[in-house]
């Protein structure tokens, strides 16, 4: 998977490349990451990337030209046609199902907005889809972009060791995850459920599935409805 990211803060993406599963996956060349700073596509002395909004109002808007030139440079840099995603509260809510679909692509370009957002004309002409990672606002598209990237990277073959698997995740089967325990068997008077200690894997699987259903019913009945409809 090739990732290209358009961002005013490329250094933020060290959070992905420096730690954990995403660091190891990069080392294993399961994906590549190129960041592109719109400031490098400006032509004025002050490297202007934002300007005041037409119609007035607070804040600034990211200008079309530096972003368009960034997208053009990304298209020039590869033979694949990248799938261009803009992260914003106006986007389609992200689900694990959507992540699984996106994980099949070869090249994804992520556009990270700042200020009040980007000129609408860039959205209309260069962006394939808008995605929202939750109904809340953050100061830039970078953290949402990194969350989307992490959810994709961990699905790439070889990213998770054989002893972890993305299939058993929450949501991968449409249900919430079951409880997890590890040593010691008893801590502060709290014991691990006996079924997990007996090594009967049919019973363990049954218990875990029942716990997933129970948890989903208690905490996210909306998901249960979808699960039962086999959606």
Looking at the annotation, which residues are catalytic? 89, 116, 154, 169
Residue number with the smallest Cβ distance to ligand 4GO:
113
Is residue 132 close enough to count as binding ligand 4GO by CB under 6 A?
yes
Contacts of 128 (CB under 8 A, 6+ apart): 83, 84, 85
- Which residues on neighbouring strands pair with residue 34, listed in sequence order? 4
Q: Report residue 184: phi and psi, to 5°.
A: -85, 170
State which residue, 133 or 224, has the beta carbon closest to ligand 4GO.
Answer: 133
For ligand 4GO, the binding residues in 73-102 under the rule CB under 6 A are 87-89
Q: Report how far residue 108's alpha carbon sits from residue 135's, in angstroms, rounded to the nearest whole number.
A: 23
Question: Contacting ligand 4GO (CB under 6 A), which of 138, 187, 195, 206?
Answer: 138
Residue 79 DSSP one-character state: S
Q: CB–CB of 7/35 below 8 Å?
A: yes
- 136 is a contact residue toward ligand 4GO (CB under 6 A): yes
Sign of the Cα torsion 158, 159, 164, 168 reads negative
Instruction: Give the DSSP letter of residue 118.
Output: B
**Shortest Å distance, C-beta 115 to ligand 4GO:** 6
Residue 114 in the binding site for ligand 4GO (CB under 6 A)? yes
Binding test (CB under 6 A) with ligand 4GO, winner from 14, 59, 134, 193: 134
# chain residues binding ligand 4GO, by CB under 6 A: 16
CA-nearest of 193, 223, 192 to 207 is 193
Toward ligand 4GO, which CB reaches closer, 112 or 153? 112
Instruction: Give the residue, chosen from 38, 66, 113, 174, that forms a contact with ligand 4GO under the rule CB under 6 A.
Output: 113
Residue 113 annotated as binding? Answer: yes
Instruction: Give the other-Cβ count within 10 Å of 45's Cβ.
Output: 6
- Tell me if 151 contacts ligand 4GO by CB under 6 A: no
Nearest in space to 59 (alpha carbons), one of 144, 143, 140: 140
Q: Which of 38, 66, 82, 117 binds ligand 4GO (CB under 6 A)?
A: 117
Identify whether the C-beta of residue 85 lies closer than 8 Å to the C-beta of residue 127: yes
Residue 137 binds ligand 4GO (CB under 6 A): yes
- Determine if residue 118 is labeled as part of a ligand binding site: no
Judged by beta carbon, residue 127 or residue 175, the one nearer ligand 4GO is: 127
In whole angstroms, what is the distance from residue 122 CA to residue 186 CA?
58
Binding residues for S-adenosyl-L-methionine: 113, 133-138
Binding footprint of ligand 4GO on the chain (CB under 6 A): 87-89, 113-114, 117, 132-134, 136-141, 144
């Amino acid at each position: 998977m090739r990732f290209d990211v358009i961002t005013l803060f490329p250094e933020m993406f060290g959070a992905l490349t420096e730690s954990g599963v995403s660091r190891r996956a990069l080392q294993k060349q399961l994906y590549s990451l190129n960041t592109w700073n719109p400031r490098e596509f400006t032509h004025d002395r002050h490297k202007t990337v934002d300007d005041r909004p037409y119609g007035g109002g607070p804040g600034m808007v990211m200008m079309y030209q530096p972003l368009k030139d960034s997208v053009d440079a990304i298209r020039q840099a590869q033979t694949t046609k990248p799938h261009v995603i803009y992260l914003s509260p106006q986007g389609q809510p992200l689900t694990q199902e959507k992540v699984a679909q996106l994980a099949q692509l070869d090249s994804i370009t992520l556009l990270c907005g700042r200020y009040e957002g980007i000129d609408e004309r860039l959205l209309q002409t260069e962006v394939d889809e808008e995605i929202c990672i939750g109904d809340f606002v953050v100061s830039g598209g970078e953290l949402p972009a990194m969350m989307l990237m992490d959810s994709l990277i961990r699905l790439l073959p070889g990213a998770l060791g054989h002893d972890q698997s993305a299939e058993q995740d929450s949501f991968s089967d449409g249900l919430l995850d079951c409880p997890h325990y590890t040593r010691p068997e008893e801590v502060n008077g709290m014991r691990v459920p006996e079924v997990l200690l007996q090594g009967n894997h049919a019973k363990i699987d049954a218990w875990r599935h029942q716990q997933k259903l129970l948890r989903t019913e208690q905490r996210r009945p909306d998901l249960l409805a979808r699960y039962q409809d086999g959606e």
